[in-house]
Amino acid sequence: MDFQQIKELIELLNNSEIGEFKLQQNDLSLSIKTKHYYDTALANKLNMQAVSFATHLPPTPLHQAPVAPTMQTHITAPNPNLATNTGESGSVESSAKHITIKSPMLGTFYRSSSPDKPPYIKVGDEVSPGKVLCIIEAMKLFNEIESEISGRIIKVLADDASPVEYDQPLFLVEPI
């Protein structure tokens, strides 16, 4: 195969919808990738990214921050054999009669819906299943964290507007 034949082959492939062409002939190995190959690869990559970022949330007005579906809290039940509950983020004092509510996700912890509003709950408040405890912002989505238990808030373990990690203790609750 001479240079002129290769040139004609490239021209022929460019005018077709063939994305990739490979030729193996004796000591010659030829591989040609056309713009269709790269267009298809890019389209597949963008399609995969769109699928991975797709959400099933209803559209929100432009002036309102998006709110993700309510997240359920992660609770550590009391263990009478342990005096403390130790996690990656440090230790939390806990007695056998207290339950630790932990963060179900990584994000920024907020005690209220905005800085000028009162916190959802404070020490001494009673909570019940379904009551919003806080908001955790993750990737510009504000996730309301609800209680799964009934009890009284003994201690708030995270600072307002501070980053929290998955499984980090947020509240200490005395069950009712």
What are the residues facing 71 on neighbouring strands?
Answer: 145
Q: What is the pLDDT of residue 33?
A: 77
Please compute the mean of the pLDDT values over residues 12-40 and round it to a whole number.
76
- Which one is the CATH code of 67-175: 2.40.50.100, 3.40.309.10, 3.30.2020.30, 3.40.50.12780? 2.40.50.100
Average pLDDT value for the chain = 75
Greater model confidence, 88 or 148:
148
Other C-beta atoms closer than 10 Å to the C-beta of 136 total: 24
pTM of the model: 0.49
pLDDT score, position 92: 35
- Indicate the range of 17-26, 68-77, 121-130 predicted with least confidence: 68-77
pLDDT band (50, 70, 90) for residue 62: very low
CATH 2.40.50.100 placement within the chain: 67-175
Instruction: Give mean pLDDT, residues 44-69.
Output: 50
